[in-house]
Amino acid sequence: MLATRFALFLVILAVVCSVSYAADPDPLQDFCVGFNDSFSMVSVNGKFCKNPELVKPEDFFYSGLDKVGDTSNPLGSKLTQVFDDQLGGLNHQGVGMVKIELEPKGLNPPHEHPRASEIIFVSEGTMYVGFIESNPSDPNVPNKLYAKTLSPGDVYVFPRGTLHFQYNVGKTNAVAYASFNSQNPGVVTVASSLFGSKPPVHPEVLAKAFQIDVKMVEYLQSLTWKRNN
């Protein structure tokens, strides 16, 4: 019995330790520039890295966030990502960023980042932003919304894994810059993921989940869902 309890303790300890380190790993060298040339790569921590002898200052450089993005889409928004795919020098650094541009009434729809927390800085316009907490332990207690209207110079934090959004409530274009504690935070956009997946989710699943008619689900699934990145 004692041996069984000790084994169970070791299993629980292993799970807790694995969860506590479930984030971008600490780098084991100054840099590990992501690279696609299979003839010039070195594998470190499971990642392919550019040979340090071939690394240039340009590998740590990105230009273009000053350019105005195209918000002429159904959401009225544009995201310009600077993650490891766009900037190889971010590989193994545990950081990333995004420029968020919203035309009046433009929306960055409800989404979540499974691998990172997010902090945004508003540089132009007025944004209504918010996140929703995870399910309370009491099923009779609704999920709480934490929302605020932001102006230039304001900062807001979205905890890792929470559903959140940004909406332009002003009369002019709005711009914000977001930073993440991951080089690849991941994005799960609720509406396009559920109604635009291929193959589609069974309509009855979504009808019961959203408490709407199956025909409405089928209509939503028939739409063309486009993302703003």
Residue 10 class from Cβ within 10 Å (0-12 exposed, 13-18 middle, 19+ buried)? exposed
> Domains in the chain, please, with CATH?
2-58 (no CATH), 62-186 (2.60.120.10)
**Residue 148 CB neighbours (<10 A):** 10
The whole-angstrom separation of Cα 125 and Cα 107 is 13
Six-digit token string for 116 = 């990172």
In the three-class reduction of DSSP (H, G, I as helix; E, B as strand; rest coil), residue 212 is classed as coil
> For residue range 145-204, what is the model confidence (pLDDT) as tens digits?
999 999 999 999 999 999 999 999 999 999 999 999 999 899 999 999 999 999 999 999
Instruction: Yes or no: say if 115 and 184 are a contact pair by the CB < 8 Å rule.
Output: yes
Instruction: Yes or no: say if 119 and 155 are a contact pair by the CB < 8 Å rule.
Output: yes
Identify the residue with better confidence: 211 or 31. 211
pTM, 2 dp: 0.81
> For residue range 93-122, what is the model confidence (pLDDT) as tens digits?
889 999 999 999 999 999 999 999 999 999
**Residue 51, Ramachandran bin (φ over 0: left; ψ between -120 and 50: alpha; else beta):** beta
**Residue 206 CB neighbours (<10 A):** 19
User: In the chain, how many H helices and how many E strands?
Assistant: 4, 12
